[in-house]
């Protein structure tokens, strides 16, 4: 199985909004609403930020939102803050009952 | 609060078998509906899903690793394990264990443990 495709890097100034894309196929992202997003700071374990495409776990800021269109899911961070600087990964359930992660996106706050 | 903690050898010789254990505390590994997963991250690279064991004992593995991976559970010790055989330098990575919620999200993670493959 191939990793989901994400841009290597995205940057924005404080207060701005940025969007990270996650492109898969009809056998993963496009076929199921089981896309989740994870934030990872250096040296730390990933943290769940979005699940089932657009749901936020308790405790995650409402500045984080998710959506999906066809085979591409997206994570939007609004009101960008310095603490949002991290790596972000998408993940999807697949038709083979396996899981696949995205290639990862480094978010830089300018 | 559920906690997961990886343990095992941090240095493995090429061609040997990597063995890791994930101890679960604050909850039962037999809780219905959850799966218990292994995920790895080579230095400076992205996350790679290795596989999981379902609460029923069924296992699913990454097709690219399937021939070398075994995930098992020890309910008496509330832990699950990973074995990866015939390792090479490409298997050097931080290995994470994680709980997967019934709606296919990883909600609890261990802190990760670095395994280096080197002679």
Classify residue A76: in a domain, yes or no: yes
Q: CATH number of the domain that A50 lies in?
A: 2.60.40.10
Q: Do A91 and B49 touch (CB under 8 A)?
A: yes
**Paired strand residues for A69:** A72
Residues of B in contact with A101 (CB under 8 A): 39, 46-49
**Cα–Cα separations (whole angstroms), residue A99 to A32, B26, B27, B81:** 12, 26, 24, 18
Token code pair at residue B83? 């074995």
User: CB under 8 Å to B96, separation ≥6 — which residues?
Assistant: A45, A46, B6, B38, B39, B40, B41, B109, B110, B112
Classify residue A4: in a domain, yes or no: no
Classify residue A73: in a domain, yes or no: yes
pLDDT given for residue A51 in this prediction: 97
Residues of B in contact with A34 (CB under 8 A): 103-105
Pairing of strands A105-109, A9-12: parallel
Task: Considering only the beta carbons, identify the residue of B48, B61, B105 that sits closest to A48.
Answer: B105
Q: Is the pLDDT of residue B45 over 90?
A: yes
Classify residue A81: in a domain, yes or no: yes
Q: What is the pLDDT of residues A5-25, one digit of tens each?
A: 999 999 999 999 999 999 999
Classify residue A2: in a domain, yes or no: no
Classify residue A1: in a domain, yes or no: no
Closest to A105 in 3D by CA, of A5, A29, A36: A5
Structural domain harbouring A52: 9-109
pLDDT given for residue B31 in this prediction: 78
Classify residue A61: in a domain, yes or no: yes
Pairing of strands B11-12, B113-117: parallel
Q: Do B62 and A51 touch (CB under 8 A)?
A: no
Q: What is the pLDDT of residues B67-119, one digit of tens each?
A: 999 999 999 999 999 999 999 999 999 999 999 988 889 999 999 999 999 99
């Amino acid at each position: 199985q191939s990793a989901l495709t994400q841009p290597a890097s995205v940057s924005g100034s404080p207060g701005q909004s940025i969007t990270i894309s996650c492109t898969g196929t009809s056998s993963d992202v496009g076929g199921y609403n089981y896309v989740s997003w994870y934030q990872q700071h250096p040296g730390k374990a990933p943290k769940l930020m979005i699940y089932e495409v657009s749901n936020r776990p308790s405790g995650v800021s409402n500045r984080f939102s998710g959506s999906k269109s066809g085979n591409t899911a997206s994570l939007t961070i609004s009101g960008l803050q310095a603490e949002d600087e991290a790596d972000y990964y998408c993940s999807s359930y697949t038709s083979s009952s396996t899981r696949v992660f995205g290639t990862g996106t480094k978010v830089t706050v300018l | 609060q559920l906690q997961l903690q990886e343990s095992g050898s941090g240095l493995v010789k090429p061609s040997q078998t990597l063995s890791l254990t994930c101890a679960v505390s604050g909850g039962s590994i037999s809780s219905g509906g959850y799966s218990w997963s292994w995920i790895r991250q080579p230095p400076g690279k992205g996350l790679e899903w290795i596989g999981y064991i379902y609460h029923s004992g069924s296992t699913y593995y990454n097709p690219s690793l399937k021939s070398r991976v075994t995930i098992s559970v020890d309910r008496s010790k509330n832990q699950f394990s990973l074995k990866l055989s015939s390792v090479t330098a490409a298997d050097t990575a931080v290995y994470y264990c994680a709980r997967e919620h019934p709606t296919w999200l990883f909600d609890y993670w261990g802190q990760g443990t670095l395994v280096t493959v080197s002679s």
